[in-house]
Amino acid sequence: MTDRDVHLPVAAQPTVDSIVDYTTLAEEGGYDCAWLPETWGRDGVVVLTAMAERTESIDIGSSILNTYSRSPALLGQTAATMQEVSDGRFRLGLGPSGPVVIENWHGMEYGNPLRRTRETVEIVREVLSGEPVNYDGDDFQLSGFRLRCEAPKPSPPIEVTGMGPKAVELAGRFADGWHGIMLTPEGMDDRLEDIERGAELGDRDPDDVHVTTGVTCCALEDAERARKLTRQHIGFYIGGMGTFYRDALERQGYEEAPEIHDAWQDGDRERALELVDESILDDLCAFGTPEETREQLEAYEAVEGLDSIAISFPRGADEDTVKQTMEAVAPDAS
């Protein structure tokens, strides 16, 4: 059976308490994990701590902490501490983010994101072992230190994001889990093959890699409003968030993705949204009335090899929309 997680919204949330409220609602609704991304707003670790302290059973995960703004050793310390604070419910989600954020917000060179992610995963795993860390990589060289507290038992899983074939292969080879986004049910098949190839290279069982994909959902009695919010969200991601999402859709056969991106970049948002046609929305998202949204999610649940669906929300969704959607597609409501 496919788990159902929730990918909490961070855009325009009024308070930390409002994010924690979503987490407690997710716990009450039977969701398996509440994932919190860190972007350019609130510090993710502080909010994750509040989430952990005010819940009892739901897993708490970072999705994602980027591999540039914190050192690998600090990420290991964070994971160990969060595992303690959450009583063993923490899942560490890592990813390189993209050059727009890393260079323009953090002021760092993006470099080789695959290599940096691999080395970060390897170092974090050594830190969490509690043994002395001696690592000689291309990006990082560490020696002479070990974790100055008890190593967490069990060690929290390390899960990574990735969209391209090589990034997903890396997850299959080195990580405990992989998070996909902007993937149709059919588009998942190629990425699952990447996981299997990476697991084979790492002499691992691909079933040991926990596969999660995020699905943008909007469940409202006003189905047209749900459609409008979903279209705006997809248009923004294809057009305004670098080239990763554009490329992911083009790989899945949506030849209009570059045109959407270019129209958005040229400032013609209306044209960009017009190009987000029904096929993209229907294939990529779950939206409409609560019943329609639940039915659309069944296509993802049927994907063999997919372990978890992470419910996410349009960036323009207000608090009531988020809560209505969470309640409509909660595991206990299905």
The pLDDT of residue 91 is 98
Query: At CA 72, angle to CA 68 and CA 77, rounded to 5?
Result: 125
Residue type present at position 149: C
Of how many residues is the chain composed?
Answer: 334
The pLDDT of residue 142 is 98
The pLDDT of residue 41 is 93
The pLDDT of residue 334 is 61
Integer Cα distance of 179 and 175 in angstroms: 11
Topology of the domain comprising 3-217+292-333 = TIM Barrel (3.20.20)
CA 165 to chain centre: 17
The pLDDT of residue 1 is 86
- Give the pairing type, strands 133-136 and 141-145: antiparallel
The pLDDT of residue 277 is 87
The pLDDT of residue 11 is 77
| Exposure letters 297-310 (e unless 16+ CB within 10 A, then b) | beebeebeebbbbb
pTM, entire model: 0.94
CA 252 to chain centre: 19
Low-confidence spans in the chain with pLDDT less than 50 = none
Residue where the block lists tokens 């990082």: 140
